[in-house]
Structure 1
Amino acid sequence: MPPKELQSRKQQNKSIKVNSDESLSFPTINILDNDCLIKIFLYLPIKDRMRIERVCKRWQTVNQQAWSDIKELKIPEALNFIESYSVKIDTTERAVEKLLLRCGRFLNKLEFETYFTFRRLVIMPLIAKHCHNLQCLILYLKNHSNSDMTLLFLNLHKLERLKLSVLNRNDFRDVCLKKLTTNSMPELSLSSNSYVFPGTYCGRINGGGAIGIQNMKNLWNLRFYQFYFEADELKLIVCNESITYLSLENCYFYKCINLIANLRGLKYLNLSKVRDVNDSFLIKLAANYSTPVTNDGINAVSKLKKLTTLMISHSYKVTDSALSKFVALKVLQCRYCKLVRDFGAIELLQNAPHLEEIDLSSTSVSTRFLNAACNVAISRANAMPLKIIVSWRLKLIWSRPRCISKSVLIVEWEERDDKDPYYFFDDDDDDDYDG
């Protein structure tokens, strides 16, 4: 090698060595103590926290303490640190294991957003072992053993909200609800998402699960979706008087739906797609309640398109605007509903061609309503007679038109009883209200 070229190479190597030494002279992140590293790691997303463990053994150890800020975890959303987690089940299991080992003790909420099949069946024991602070647990169950669920419930002492969705009826035995160690849980949701025949493949609440629900003394929100009930189990559930919010969408009842009326404190009841609902059930349900009915409740009942009889007397918060939607009504009893006035009552007369009897005693309807009733009665295509009962006071100021026969319009007056506690009218009431 020529002398000049050799000298040039030596100078180049010397320069590289100097630059390397200078770089080492600058402070690096590793000069920080473990507490500082933990605070830095807390700013990283989950994906990067998992990756930094590959840097060195120290970082791997320190990173175990950098998860205290993770209070909520959604699976599989949190699994973005692995590639194609939906392809290999084993990879998914290991990823979930790693996350729960690191942040499980800090979690308040854990949610599985889809159904998983875990081959090694270690996920439920991991939740039971490491997630003692869980307040909310949402699980989609597929091929899980009842012993795992029992172990899970025995260890979750702080649970406040539990949502279980089963893909097949064999995925969940409701007897494990008896193992819930907390009787203070306020919310429980159970869902069976198979399309099934009643009582065959849908979720079933048996005696053990019913006893577990009965013992949850702080339970106010109870939801079932596509479950099958029989009388013995439903009797136990409705004994829980703390339930005020009940959803029974798409559920099946074997000759026992009337038992629901025993829940006296209900504020919300969802009976969507329940075939067993009929008029007798609704009448019995309403008869057990002394709480004021409002337009919200009446509007909800108006969705029952085949309802022919409605009795809502003494519903002081109901107005006439809620009445016009009941187009199939034959009988309406609406006595002592002071807020019921002419406009909505007249609309009901016009919209309900099969209306036979309407009792508006001690309401605020005026002679305008009676005049409208005359027009409706004579124009009915079916010539069906209409019977109306109104306040005795209107008798003093209204006269029947001669052209209106009693065979098409029957007007009766309520009997005046000054001792009736519901006669709270005074002399200044607006008898001539016209709107």
Structure 2
Amino acid sequence: MLLPVPERIAIKKVCSKWKEACELAWYDIKNYSFGGGVFDGKLLAPSYVEEALSNFGIYLRVLALWRNCNSSVMPIIEHIDININHWDIKTPNILNNILNSSKSIRYCNIMLHPDCNAPDISIKNWDNLLNLEHLGTRWRINNNTAIKLVKYCKNLRSLDIRSEGIIETALQKLTELKNLDTLNYSFADGIAMDELDNAILTISNTWKKLKHLTISDDSPPDDIDVDNIEPFDPSVIYDELSKLQYLEELNVLNMRDFQDSSIIAIANSSLMSIISLENLEELNVGNIDGVTDNFISKLKGLKKLRCEYSKNITDAGMIQCLKNCPNLEALCLYHSNITINTLVGADEITQNRINNIVLYLFYNNSTEASKLKTKSKWLVLRPGKRNYCG
């Protein structure tokens, strides 16, 4: 059991005693990679893969295959990562054999070299995929496959697909995966702009519970002539992504036509989704132009709020926020547009507090504000520029 896998297989062939001992020494192998790094070429041969998996395949939980490896001896693997750089007529069997034989697979990532044309997925035993949580593939997902994925893979949470590997109507069908929260949609040079636009609209209008989204241009850098790049017209289609109000992470890798207005639209949408967070107690929205009265006046239940350099909030919005947040104990308004009216409003609102919570209000001092005499014992004004906001 202390020997590496190739040596275990080698000694198995030496004599009957070693063979007998070797047959017992495989259960410790739970995670294995065929290929990658510096390997003897014969260790990548399908025959070697078959022989090795016949010994420890029943114990594996994580498997990584590189190049042209092929086997169906994988009954209980949960995690599969395959990178195929070489293509021949037998290659499609790699994916299909795995998906049709593994009964416990949760994570499946099958990556093709960009020069390989995407074949169709052909799965017979869909019941094997009931526990599938991640599917990453450049195999073509046709309409029938999309229907099956929606029917059988209800636990699918993460999907990694490429534009030429998916039919547009199939993408629409996949939006019915209710538990999906992570999507990686990539494409290469040559994609029709209307195809990309339709994909963005599909994702934005129907996959509204996504938390993690990556849209990337995977065109090889060598294909781009920097000296002859034509200027991109900014696209407003990305504004549609503002409909994804549960979004926590957005990656728009190499998207040169992604414009500032789309970022602003998405950020503003994300701000409004914060309003529904019932247990939110601390919030920092300083230096964000999208913070307006419409947002600030709807916040509730906060204990600490920082709005430094928020130029688009007024006294009316801030006073309403103070009424909504009776437990507010720290409010930072440095370099905002609030006036003495907010200070007066804070004084009047906190006078009625019965929770024994003191509000510390930090603001830029002014001649008018310095003359204010407060009545509330639950309000402490902290004028200045460098006081700690809490």
Bucket of the pairwise TM-score, normalised by the shorter protein: 0.5 to 0.7
Q: Counterpart in 1 of 2:172?
A: 210
Q: Counterpart in 2 of 1:37?
A: none
273, 277, 291: which one aligns with 1:312: 291
146, 161, 179: which one aligns with 2:119: 146
* Structure 2 Cα separation of the partners of residues 112 and 248 of structure 1: 22
Give the 3 Å change call, closer, same or farther, for CA 44–112 of structure 1 in structure 2. same
96, 101, 105: which one aligns with 2:49: 96
Give the 3 Å change call, closer, same or farther, for CA 131–291 of structure 1 in structure 2. same
Counterpart amino acid of 1:432? P
C-alpha displacement of 1:123 = 1.9
Counterpart amino acid of 1:179? K
* 1:291-312 CA distance string (max 9 Å, x none): 169888878x8xxxxxxxx221
Counterpart amino acid of 2:381? D
C-alpha displacement of 1:430 = 1.0
* 1:28-57 CA distance string (max 9 Å, x none): xxxxxxxxxxxxx5x543222322332357
Q: Given that residues 109 and 134 in structure 1 are in contact (C-alpha distance below 8 angstroms), is that contact kept between their aligned partners in structure 2? A: yes
1:156-175 maps to which residues of 2 (within 5 A)? 156-164=129-137, 166=138, 172-173=140-141, 175=143
Counterpart amino acid of 2:179? N
* Structure 1 Cα separation of the partners of residues 155 and 125 of structure 2: 17
Q: Given that residues 153 and 177 in structure 1 are in contact (C-alpha distance below 8 angstroms), is that contact kept between their aligned partners in structure 2? A: no
Q: Does 1:84 align with 2:63?
A: no
* 1:86-144 CA distance string (max 9 Å, x none): 9xxxx633333444454122422122256342442332233134322222122221436
Counterpart amino acid of 1:206? E
285, 290, 297: which one aligns with 2:273: 290
Q: Counterpart in 1 of 2:362?
A: 364
* Structure 1 Cα separation of the partners of residues 285 and 383 of structure 2: 29
32, 50, 73: which one aligns with 2:32: 73
Q: Counterpart in 2 of 1:352?
A: none
C-alpha displacement of 1:208 = 0.5
Counterpart amino acid of 1:224? Y
Aligned residue pairs, count: 292
Q: Given that residues 75 and 111 in structure 1 are in contact (C-alpha distance below 8 angstroms), is that contact kept between their aligned partners in structure 2? A: no
Q: Given that residues 205 and 233 in structure 1 are in contact (C-alpha distance below 8 angstroms), is that contact kept between their aligned partners in structure 2? A: no
Give the 3 Å change call, closer, same or farther, for CA 161–58 of structure 1 in structure 2. farther
Unaligned runs of 5+ in 2: 58-73, 219-231, 322-329, 343-360
Question: Which secondary structure does the structure 2 equivalent of 1:105 belong to?
Answer: coil
Counterpart amino acid of 1:291? I
1:86-125 maps to which residues of 2 (within 5 A)? 92-102=45-55, 103=57, 104-113=74-83, 115-121=85-91, 122-125=93-96
Counterpart amino acid of 2:9? M
218, 222, 240: which one aligns with 2:183: 222
Question: Which secondary structure does the structure 2 equivalent of 1:333 belong to?
Answer: coil
Q: Given that residues 108 and 133 in structure 1 are in contact (C-alpha distance below 8 angstroms), is that contact kept between their aligned partners in structure 2? A: yes
Question: Which secondary structure does the structure 1 equivalent of 2:383 belong to?
Answer: coil
* Structure 2 Cα separation of the partners of residues 46 and 186 of structure 1: 34
* Structure 2 Cα separation of the partners of residues 186 and 96 of structure 1: 30
Give the 3 Å change call, closer, same or farther, for CA 177–286 of structure 1 in structure 2. same
C-alpha displacement of 1:72 = 2.9
Q: Counterpart in 2 of 1:430?
A: 381
Q: Counterpart in 2 of 1:380?
A: none
* Structure 1 Cα separation of the partners of residues 53 and 87 of structure 2: 17
* 1:217-262 CA distance string (max 9 Å, x none): 2112222344665454444434234422222244899753232222
Deviates most, 251-260 or 68-77:
251-260
Unaligned runs of 5+ in 1: 1-40, 193-201, 302-309, 324-330, 346-357, 371-393, 399-424
Q: Counterpart in 1 of 2:256?
A: 275
Q: Does 1:128 align with 2:94?
A: no
254, 259, 271: which one aligns with 2:240: 259
Q: Given that residues 362 and 383 in structure 2 are in contact (C-alpha distance below 8 angstroms), is that contact kept between their aligned partners in structure 1? A: no
Q: Given that residues 207 and 233 in structure 1 are in contact (C-alpha distance below 8 angstroms), is that contact kept between their aligned partners in structure 2? A: no
* 1:318-360 CA distance string (max 9 Å, x none): 6467x5xxxxxxx942454974444xx4xxxxxxxxxxxx634
Q: Given that residues 285 and 306 in structure 2 are in contact (C-alpha distance below 8 angstroms), is that contact kept between their aligned partners in structure 1? A: no
Counterpart amino acid of 1:127? I
Q: Given that residues 105 and 128 in structure 2 are in contact (C-alpha distance below 8 angstroms), is that contact kept between their aligned partners in structure 1? A: no
Q: Counterpart in 2 of 1:418?
A: none
* Structure 1 Cα separation of the partners of residues 247 and 112 of structure 2: 30
Give the 3 Å change call, closer, same or farther, for CA 281–119 of structure 1 in structure 2. same
Instruction: Normalising by structure 1, report the TM-score.
Output: 0.53
Question: Which secondary structure does the structure 2 equivalent of 1:210 belong to?
Answer: helix
Counterpart amino acid of 2:180? L
C-alpha displacement of 1:278 = 3.2
Counterpart amino acid of 2:242? A
Give the 3 Å change call, closer, same or farther, for CA 105–131 of structure 1 in structure 2. same
Counterpart amino acid of 2:239? N
Q: Given that residues 79 and 96 in structure 1 are in contact (C-alpha distance below 8 angstroms), is that contact kept between their aligned partners in structure 2? A: no
Counterpart amino acid of 1:245? H
* Structure 2 Cα separation of the partners of residues 78 and 70 of structure 1: 19
